[in-house]
Amino acid sequence: MSVGVWKIHAGGVACVACIGAATYGFGVRPVLERQSRHSELQVEIAADRDRVAEAQEKERALHAEMDTLRSLGAGWAELRGEPRTLNEQLAELAAFAERHNLVLTTTRPGEPEARAFFTVRRISLAGTGGYAPCAAFLHDFVEAFPDATVEGFEVKAQGTENARGATFRFDLAWYADSAGVEANSPGESG
């Protein structure tokens, strides 16, 4: 073979190498990158589906809890009847204390505090009475007022010479539907 033929063969090999590189660079490599990206996206989609399924399960559980709370709320509404004004609540509370042989000296209602799903109205009571009547009041309060709770209390002995025996302070809280408390605000109840 002569030198001219080698130049032709070298040029042909160079052309084939260029065509191969161009084919890889513009054809094979983008396809491989797309397949790799497609695989990554499939993994992301599977993870997203798992997160969606988990969120849907949580949503179902929350709806079930809300249904349970609604059914409990409906039962409370039947127990308590229609929403009462603040004065009606205070009168009922004073009568309840009197039935337990307690003498109220201070009744201090707080302003309604709006929360996400309900409203809280705190009422502080102070007075005199024996230790046993105070304990009975607190025990019976939970059953008599299912829409309320005792947040705190303090009972102090006054000594043996006092017939009443002790002073007390009860911090109570009523939980109500926001609409019911707004309708029974202190301005309306006097």
**What average pLDDT does the segment 51-70 reach?**
88
In angstroms, the CA 120 to CA 141 distance is 17
Q: Helix or strand or coil: residue 102? A: coil
pLDDT in tens, 146-186: 888 899 999 988 766 555 578 999 999 988 776 544 444 44
Half-sphere exposure in the Cβ direction for 144 (13 Å, CA):
15
Per the CB < 8 A criterion, the answer to whether 106 and 126 are in contact is yes
- In this prediction, residue 100 carries a pLDDT of 94
Distance between CA atoms of residues 159 and 165, nearest Å: 6
Question: For residue range 61-120, what is the model confidence (pLDDT) as tens digits?
Answer: 988 888 887 777 655 444 444 456 888 888 999 999 999 999 999 999 988 888 877 888
Single pTM value for the model: 0.51
Q: Which residue has the higher pLDDT, 2 or 130?
A: 130
pLDDT tens across 111-138, in order? 888 887 788 889 999 999 988 899 999 9
pLDDT (0 to 100) of residue 68? 80
Type of residue at 4: G
pLDDT of residue 57: 93
Per-residue pLDDT at 169 = 95
Measured distance CA(90)–CA(87) in Å, rounded: 5
